Structure 1
Amino acid sequence: MDLSFSPEIEAFRTKVRTWFETDFPKDIIRKYKAGLPLTTEEVRRSEMALGQKGWLATAWPEEYGGPGWGIEEQYVFDEELERAGVPTVTPMGVIYVGPVIYTFGSDEQKERWLPGIRDGSVGWAQGYSEPGAGSDLASLQFSAKLDNGTYTLNGHKIWTSAAQHADWIFLLARTSQEDKKQKGISFICCPIDAPGVTVKPIITIDGNHVLNEVFFEDVKVPEDNRIGEAGKGWTYSQYLLGFERTSYARIGGKRAMLRHIRDVAMSTPDGSGERLIDDEGFARRLTEAEMAVDGLEMTVFRVLSAAARGGSPGDAASTVKILATTTHQQITELMVDAAGACAQPHFSFWAGQNDPGGSPGRDMATYFAGRAQSIYGGTNEIQRTIIARKVLGL
């Protein structure tokens, strides 16, 4: 199997790499590489730099402002973005809701929302999970009652990523009670600063603020903020989840972590002269992790190629989600083993963003953050059921 790229794609890679090295804001790269949280202004500036270049909505069709890239260009771009240490694009706008809007939204909605998503000037959050509806998302109870062309929103969303940076939030809301719980759900967009919306931060075990709770109390939005038909939100959400689950792959980032682990394992930080890479067991596990990333990469190519023909990754995206999250955890376990006794003493400083020990504290934080990957976006157990029923037909 020839896995090499054509000379044209390699020339494209050089173009992208050069732009990241010369034109992307260097202060943002430095801060992101140090593992420090970005402010809302920095998030906007990072994504607007890509948007101004036309490189934010990389998978969008040209008719909606996408660059017209094929699968190979998109893949190489993502790889170079991670290699350069550029912040990962917040997916809620450009990867999640954008395709839903241009596929199911009205012309007025496309004109209203797509430009700000495409140029990075408007941030979005995803209002799916609730305290009683996580992997069993269809059990959601968030309500949207329609009266004279206005929805009144009430409920509580949780684990809402990047809500502190968002201008808008798209929601799954129950607009009617039906015999089947997947029915009666609608897809509604709401300004995050609307009266009655409260965002409460959740500080996770790695010491970071990425997640939030979002409360809605008698929040009013016009009926025109509903995407598509009333009661069809579950259908639109499944279309979106295909894009979400393939976005977890991040091959370039995983390869960067493996290079970091190998560098640490090749060194002798304690001065003993003994290198971890010479330990047969550790070397075997590192090789197995590298092979797992290779396997994930091939799976991503297959799923994305199918999506290019059919428009959405579909249920096969569950395979990517499982492999991506288990591989990430496999790699971060090696990171902690490589950091050894240096990791834990520095983590308490790292969690307070004042780590004097550098890498070991960051590695420990990465490990802790990665524990959640096999849970969010639909637990891996749920993904295996989807594969069994909808992919394998069991």
Structure 2
Amino acid sequence: MTGKAYLVGVGMTKFEKPETREWQYWDMAKAAGTKALADAGIGYEAVEQVPVGYCHQASTAGQRAVYELGLTGVPVYNVNNNCATGATALMMARQFVAAGINDCVLALGFEKMKRGALGAGADSGDFHASPVARHYGVMAAGHGFAKTPPTAQIFGNAAREHMARYGTTEEQLAAVGAKNHRHSAHNPYAQFRDVYSVAEILESRTVHRPLTKLQSSPTSDGAAAAVVASERFVRAHGLADRAVEIAAQAMVTDTEESFAAGSCIDVVGKPMSRAAARQVYAASGLGIEDVDVIELHDCFSVNELLTYEALGMCADGESGKLVADGATTYGGRWVVNPSGGLISKGHPLGATGLAQAAELVWQLRGTAGERQVAGARVGLAHNIGLGGAAVVTLLRI
């Protein structure tokens, strides 16, 4: 794929606590899609294909959602890659454009969820049939299996391993939550906009030690969308002033490294994230030193620390110090999760990766308002799902 691909329109709904509003998934999808098309200044009739990401709705829910935008007969693809679903839909759209198959593709993601913690992915009730049974088996072999929510367990146990191996502290983990809650105060799309101190983060309800509620992402309802266009389409429609180039993008799934050491740090995706980042740096000719702003997958505070290391922002074991020293907030080396991240902005699974892209587009255009990162020209998005898939996207203007 040698053609360039650009983000020319983005949109999202406010992320909300499930059951807050009386609307269906197609209502939120229509709202996000309409905003993205309006941002691009085009009508739905210009769209040639639509990959649609979601995890909790039935098959062909993508069509049900997209039909609210128009009945043009274009192909609609239903995408499910756990928490990496939104970025996977975006990657499909980019591939269609970069390969020269299409000039304009709409990537859409949404989720209408239930209140309460996510399960282990074994909806049938048969844990051994779960697509993540192997991942949880690694955890159980090293840490046992507790009665706490399984997703919190596996990340909580990754945090315990990091603390034991590198001396990372609970205060450093909580600093991630405090930072991201502070950032979300300026984001009108965020599910939560309250600011908390490190002490308040630590004092909130324990989910699975050492992780507390205020350093864990909530279940959420919401949608996000992005219009991906070719260079030819950008020129023909006069969109150069709003176009953000997708400089490189990579997806990596689990390898032997994920399971070989029996480590929760590996099984929750650090090796995948590192490999995807390296591919993106090689393809773009850019490195982490060129990046100004980052939206990464902080489903739990520990995953933000693991991702710092995977992206090459610091050496293994130094991520706790990085956040504690203020290197990942305004005034530091990078601004990470200016949106508030998953912890505070919310985490409607199918929409998350596309919401990250929307935030970065606003940042690179210089239209992010009070949360604007000064002089941002290169942005990186990281979206990961157990089972597993890690997607890293590098954007530039």
* Fold equivalence (TM over 0.5): no
TM range (shorter): under 0.3
TM-score, normalised via structure 2 length = 0.25
TM-score, normalised via structure 1 length = 0.26
- Name whichever structure is richer in helix by fraction: 1
Larger radius of gyration: 1
